[in-house]
């Protein structure tokens, strides 16, 4: 990590997640989600990245994004600062009636894994999309 990254760690996490959720393809995907039966039937679905480091959980008009807080994904390495392996990093709250969504509850502590998280989110949201 660079000195710049360390000094700006809070804004880096926030800015990268905002950029991800403001991309046109994310807006299109959220529109499809709002028009699907997932939200209207209050279904509970979740997806995990192939490396097991990022999860998304969709339930109650909300997408919860969780990350493995460890920089190294070695199963023998344990991060003593965070007792749970998967911690929420942000939520996307969806208002189907208004046709809007908002990024909320961003936890900027996980700046060390944000680049990996963005890669995983691209896979989880868009895998198979041309």
Cα 104 from Cα 120, distance rounded (Å): 19
Residue 21 pLDDT greater than 80, yes or no = yes
User: 55 — phi, psi (to 5°)?
Assistant: -130, 145
Cα 65 from Cα 43, distance rounded (Å): 17
pLDDT-derived band of residue 11, with 50, 70 and 90 as boundaries?
confident
pLDDT-derived band of residue 100, with 50, 70 and 90 as boundaries?
very high
Cα 62 from Cα 56, distance rounded (Å): 10
- For residue range 76-99, list pLDDT tens digits in order: 555 555 555 789 999 999 999 999
DSSP conformational letter for 111: G
Cβ atoms of residues 75 and 58 within 8 Å: no
pTM of the predicted protein model: 0.85
């Amino acid at each position: 990590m660079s000195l710049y990254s360390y000094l700006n760690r809070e804004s880096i996490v926030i800015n990268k997640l905002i950029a991800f959720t403001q991309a046109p393809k994310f807006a299109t995907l959220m529109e499809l989600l709002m028009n699907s039966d997932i939200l209207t039937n209050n279904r509970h679905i979740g997806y995990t990245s192939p490396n097991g480091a990022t999860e998304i959980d969709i339930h109650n008009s909300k997408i919860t994004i969780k990350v493995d807080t460890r920089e190294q994904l070695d199963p023998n390495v344990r991060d003593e600062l965070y007792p749970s392996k998967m911690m929420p990093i942000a939520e996307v709250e969806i208002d189907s009636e208004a046709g809007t969504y908002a990024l909320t509850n961003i936890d900027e502590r996980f700046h060390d894994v944000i680049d990996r998280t963005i890669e995983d989110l691209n896979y989880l949201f868009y895998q198979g999309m041309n």
